[in-house]
Amino acid sequence: MVLGALLLMSAVEGLSQPGYVVVATSDVPNPIPIIAPPTMLTLVPAREDIRSLGRGGAMTALGTSFNPLQANPALLGMGAGSVEVVGIAGGISPSTVRALAFISDHLGDFENGDFLVLIGEGYEEYRTGLTATARQGGLDKMRRGLAFPSDVIREVTGPGGQLRAHGASIVPYVSAELGAWGFSVHNTLQLGFQVSPGTTIEDLATIRLSEATALVGASVLLQLARSLSEAFDLAGNLRAEALPRAFAVSTNDLVATAGRSFSMGERLCVGASVRLVNRRFSSKLIDPENMSSVLSEVQREFTGSRTGLTGDLGAAYRAPFGSTFGVTLQNIVPMTTLSSTAQLNYRAAQTFYLNSSGQPTFNRNEALVGYYNMRTGAFIPNAAGDTLLYALGVTLDLRLPFELRAPMVATIGAAHPISEHWDIMCDFVDVTGNLEGVTGFGQRVRLGSEYRLWSGVLSLRAGLVNDHLSAGAGLDLGWVGFDGATAVDGFTKTRAWYGQLRFGW
């Protein structure tokens, strides 16, 4: 038993350090619901090419280096044409890689609460130790166990009020640009998850045990007793609510697109595309026992699905001095909003002193102090003994609603060739202000540049998107090409690395 140890005192009982013992508990009968405000997510079903991402995502007025169907259908036919028989793109953030590695290395802590067991055992050994060696052994256990709360907040969760988002994406696709026509089929799978530390871990992460002394202060012992009362019941059973809780938000868009451009003269083209979208969306709690395969769990059991038609309109004008100007209206028929709610349970405890009547009290002077036998309930008053505590537990039922939208987005852009091998471009996105979280001038401006070497075999790219730098490079060997980029992911809001492998001509 972690909290239910029998206290045995001998003639040298003065060597032990008095602590705090939870001897009675009760629970608020019904969970307390806490409903957070809805988190609004916007995800346009058009596929963003990794080549464009490396140059800041500016693609409304430049369609010569890849199929422009997803960016601006009016640009179809302005390039040399292409057929990508098969391609696959994906991205993942370095912080996600580190978080997955940490979870893999600490599965026992995530799934079984090994760190809590270690802290509980160390607390009992320290509190009941009759020799300096015994107390030091308990202290060492507590230090080892307390390393996990601080480490998991730093490496995985982030602080409770600012949870860190993790995620990955994968996009298989085929596309073709044949004259003024464009065709594409792609599947965008976005996987995102966050891990919440919960109140017990956040409290434990604030505890610091000095390396300079073998004595633990009374306030620290009280904090340990309170945290352990949240983590274990009186029988020593671990409560699942004390473990880190992961919840996932994932989307899966299967999209088929066809479009055509129309020449309106020597310099002006207009275009239109039709897009059939099957969108699935889910948010859910991940069972602690499945933390070893967290990314696989994220994509399972999509709870909401919609199929609908939407499309884009675009125009492009090629000026006499070489610049191209473009404008697009994406999702001219806004898609139905999908909603999903993740539900998490936490346990919190308020500790009180226990008085002589067996009632809780805040008055330290009324507290019972002595030796308590958890098995028999016998109590021996002794000023050198433990302080008895009463814990009132409550379960917090936290509900996190998410809403996924695909609103109409208006974008204007320009591109200019500095030379035959060097282009610069600029977009101003979301002119009408429909995208959630996009505020201010800096988040709407996308700047980019691309320089091609050796007749386009190697491309170097750089840009600015959402106030963050992006960069990329591409290798085009004719039938096969590879592109890489780094930019801030719009779904998880963290910097990610992207790669794209394509076969075609």
Q: pLDDT by residue (tens digit) across 64-106?
A: 666 788 889 999 877 655 677 789 999 999 999 999 999 999 9
* Entry pTM: 0.80
How does DSSP classify residue 20?
E
CATH architecture of residue range(s) 13-504: Beta Barrel (2.40)
Q: Which CA distances in Å does 371 have to 22, 132, 382, 477, 496? A: 12, 20, 7, 79, 57
Confidence of residue 442 (pLDDT cuts 50, 70, 90): confident
Ordered by start, the domain boundaries in the chain are 13-504
CB atoms within 10 A of CB 351: 21
pLDDT-above-70 percentage for the chain = 90
pLDDT of residue 17: 59
**Statement: residue 294 has pLDDT above 80:** no
CB atoms within 10 A of CB 48: 18
pLDDT in tens, 342-372: 777 767 777 888 888 888 888 888 888 887 7
User: Rounded to the nearest 5°, which phi and psi values hold at 157?
Assistant: -85, -35
Contact between 91 and 286 under an 8 Å Cβ cutoff? The reply is no
Summary mean pLDDT of the chain: 84
- What residues contact residue 342 under an 8 Å CB cut-off, 6+ apart? 247, 248, 249, 283, 284, 285, 399, 400, 402
